[in-house]
Each structure stands twice: as structure tokens, then as C-alpha cells.
Amino acid sequence: MTAQIIDGRALARKVLEDVGKGAAQLARRPGLAVIIAGDDPASHVYVRNKVRRAEELGFLTETIQLPDDIDEGAVLDEVATLNARDEIDGILVQLPLPEHVNTLRVMAAVDPAKDVDGLHALNAGRLTQGSGGLIPCTPSGCMKLIQSIIPDLTGFHAVVIGSSNIVGKPMAALLLEAKATVTQTHIHTRDTRFIARGADILISAVGRPGLVRGDWIKPRAIVIDVGTTRVPKVEGGYRIVGDVDFEEARDVAGAITPVPGGVGPMTIACLMENTLNAALVRQGELVSA
Ligand SMILES: NC(=O)C1=CN([C@@H]2O[C@H](COP(=O)(O)OP(=O)(O)OC[C@H]3O[C@@H](n4cnc5c(N)ncnc54)[C@H](OP(=O)(O)O)[C@@H]3O)[C@@H](O)[C@H]2O)C=CC1
Ligand SMILES: Nc1nc(=O)c2c([nH]1)NC[C@@H]1CN(c3ccc(C(=O)N[C@@H](CCC(=O)O)C(=O)O)cc3)C=[N+]21
Ligand SMILES: [Mg+2]
């Protein structure tokens, strides 16, 4: 069989349309601030894309560029300043931070009500307890992609390859909340291929091109490829590739997300959705995100 290709760009457009309608109901436009430290070119591309989307929606945006050698205290000061500014509804600290900065301490400093990445321990805890809060953008986008194919995940076996705080762990929590049976793997997992083959829904969030081969996939499974690795092209520039061997997977899976054009655009759309929800809560239009 040939898998259905799940169109992340088209679904992202729908999400953004709804965000635009929601934002129009607000007395004050949502405000998104992005902190970026250092000069990693890939990080700058992602930040520019996020800011451009926010501007298209009429949001207030601000990018705070910090030097690579900034000390942790100064990053925490920037966060505190943004926490105190009423017109800022969402704060995103672009990752990775410089090596000498403790990511968890920075995350803990962000006002949970403005934590549009859903990385504060309060939001992460609320997610595992199913009690609302802001949800990390990439897993949130993956859920929408999966549910565009199977709206009700009750009892399906989902396998999440990768266990980071930003993708793998919240992905597993969301799937569990949706009543799927969830297996999570990581670098020490033995025989990931065998585990993956049992998945009705297979999500790979590792960053290793070609990790997931055709024989890792159960026939007709839904495959969500979060991996985004930059590979230099011989003619210059780069292309981005996922974790999944797309050509092999296409012959086995029931549905699959492409890279690019799958999870990436949904991540940005869900960031806009989170920013709108944070603004709605902060402006008293919603009790909880
Ligand atoms: N499209 C999008 O919107 C986004 C894409 N990404 C991409 O997704 C990928 C993952 O991102 P992120 O979670 O931040 O990355 P991290 O590097 O933080 O996490 C990768 C995870 O994969 C695990 N891992 C490494 N090798 C294997 C393996 N062979 N089998 C199973 N697990 C393995 C690691 O295990 P351990 O913890 O034990 O080391 C870790 O848990 C990257 O390619 C990133 O660029 C990320 C965010 C958004
Ligand atoms: N605090 C924080 N939050 C993040 O959400 C976050 C982060 N840090 N650090 C880096 C990763 C990576 N990430 C991506 C977002 C969009 C695309 C995306 O739009 N990708 C396009 C292609 C883009 C291209 O061509 O380079 C696509 O897949 O179609 C990819 C990757 C968010 N991340
Ligand atoms: Mg660090």
C-alpha cells in the first residue's frame, strides 16, 4: 500500500485561521516575546519563522537577542522583566541555551501563565494530571495531526521514540490522556525495532536521520516524524530530514507526516494557539488554558 501523506501545512493553516478569529475577540492584541542566546543559524531561522507568523496574526512581538557568553543571572533578569510586562502574554526561550546556562532554572523562572512552551514544571505537572495548563507546542501539534486521521485513540498502542522534556515526555503524557496505551523509548532501550513494530501510532522524536526503517513499522500504522536534522547539500545550503526513512515507510504505513511540511508548521501554529490562550486567560476571557 502507499501511505496517506498527512499535510501539516494545510492543517496548520486551519489552526492559524481559528487563532486569528480568537484574537479578533480580544480587547488587546496578544504579545509574544522570544529570547534567543547566541548565534546558531538554525535557531535564528526558527525564531524568525515564529515571529513572522505572529506578526501575520497581528500579535505584538519582540525578539530579545542575547550574546552566547551571557551569564545565567542576566538571562533570568530578562525573563523577570518580561514576566512583569502586562502587554507580554507569551514568553518563549529558544532552546538550546548556551552550555553554561541551566535550562531547567530558566524554565522555572518563566511565569507559568506566560509559558507558551509549556516547559515550566507547573505546566508539565498539570499535563500529567490532565488538569489544563499550557501544553508544549510540538506534542500538541502532533496530537492534532494524529487525530486528523483517528479522532478517538482509545486503546490504540502508541510508541514514542525519544524522551526529551520538550517533545518525548509531553507527547507520551498527551497520548495517555487521550486513552492510548503508551510505550516510551530512549537511548538505552533494547530492541526499539521490535517495540516500534507493535505501534498503531509511531512517533519518532530523536534527531537521527534514517533511524526508523520500513521494517520498524506495523502495516497501516500512523507514523509521525518529529525529527528535524539539517544536512548540508553538495551544491551549498542545506535540506532538513526526519528520523524516518520516508521512501521505505511510505510502502508500509497507513499515514505518514513528511519532513518538511509535517510537524514543523504545526509546532508554530500551536505556539500561536498557546499565545492566544495565554492572552485569553490573562485578559480574563478564559478561566484556564
Ligand atoms: N519539527 C519540530 O517542530 C521540532 C523538531 N524537533 C526535532 O526533533 C528531534 C528531537 O528533539 P528534542 O527532543 O528536542 O531532542 P533531544 O536531543 O533533547 O532528545 C532526543 C531524545 O532522543 C533520545 N534518543 C537518542 N537516540 C535514540 C535512539 N536511538 N532511540 C531512542 N531514543 C533515542 C534521547 O535519549 P536520552 O535522553 O537518553 O539521551 C532523547 O531523549 C530533533 O531532531 C529536533 O530537531 C524538536 C522540536 C520541534
Ligand atoms: N523553546 C523552544 N521551543 C521550540 O518549539 C523549539 C526550540 N526551543 N528549539 C528548536 C526546536 C525546533 N523547532 C522547530 C519549529 C519549527 C520547525 C519548522 O517549521 N520546520 C519546517 C521547515 C523549516 C526549514 O525549512 O528549516 C517544516 O518542517 O516544514 C522546525 C523545528 C522548535 N523548537
Ligand atoms: Mg545547558
Closest ligand to the CA of 141: 1
pLDDT in tens, 193-225: 999 999 999 999 999 999 999 999 999 999 999
The total domain count for the chain is 2
Please give the sequence-ordered ranges of beta strands (E in DSSP) within the chain, or none if there are none.
Answer: 4-5, 31-37, 60-66, 90-93, 157-161, 181-185, 201-204, 222-225, 229-232, 238-241, 255-256
pLDDT in tens, 102-116: 999 999 999 999 999
- Ligand 2 atom nearest to CA at 42: 26
- Ligand 2 atom nearest to CA at 8: 29
Q: Is 54 found in the same domain as 155?
A: no
Question: Does residue 289 register a pLDDT over 80?
Answer: no
Q: How many CB atoms lie within 10 A of CB 153?
A: 23
For residue 70, the domain's CATH number is: 3.40.50.10860
Choose which residue among 11, 137, 161, 167 to substitute to test ligand 1 binding: the one with the highest number of ligand atoms within 8 A of its C-beta. Answer: 167
Q: In terms of residue numbers, what domain contains 104?
A: 26-113
Residue 100 lies in a domain: yes
Render the burial of 118-134: b for 16+ CB within 10 Å, e for the rest: bbbebbbebbeeeeebb
Question: Does residue 288 register a pLDDT over 80?
Answer: no
Paired residues of 93 in beta bridges: 35
CB 257 within 8 A of CB 69: no
Indicate whether residue 140 lines ligand 1 (CB < 6 A): no
Q: Is 226 found in the same domain as 168?
A: yes
164 CA distance to ligand 1 middle (Å): 6
In this structure, what C-alpha cell is assigned to residue 288? 484556564
Residue 275 lies in a domain: no
Residue 271 lies in a domain: no
Residue 273 lies in a domain: no
Q: Is 147 found in the same domain as 109?
A: no
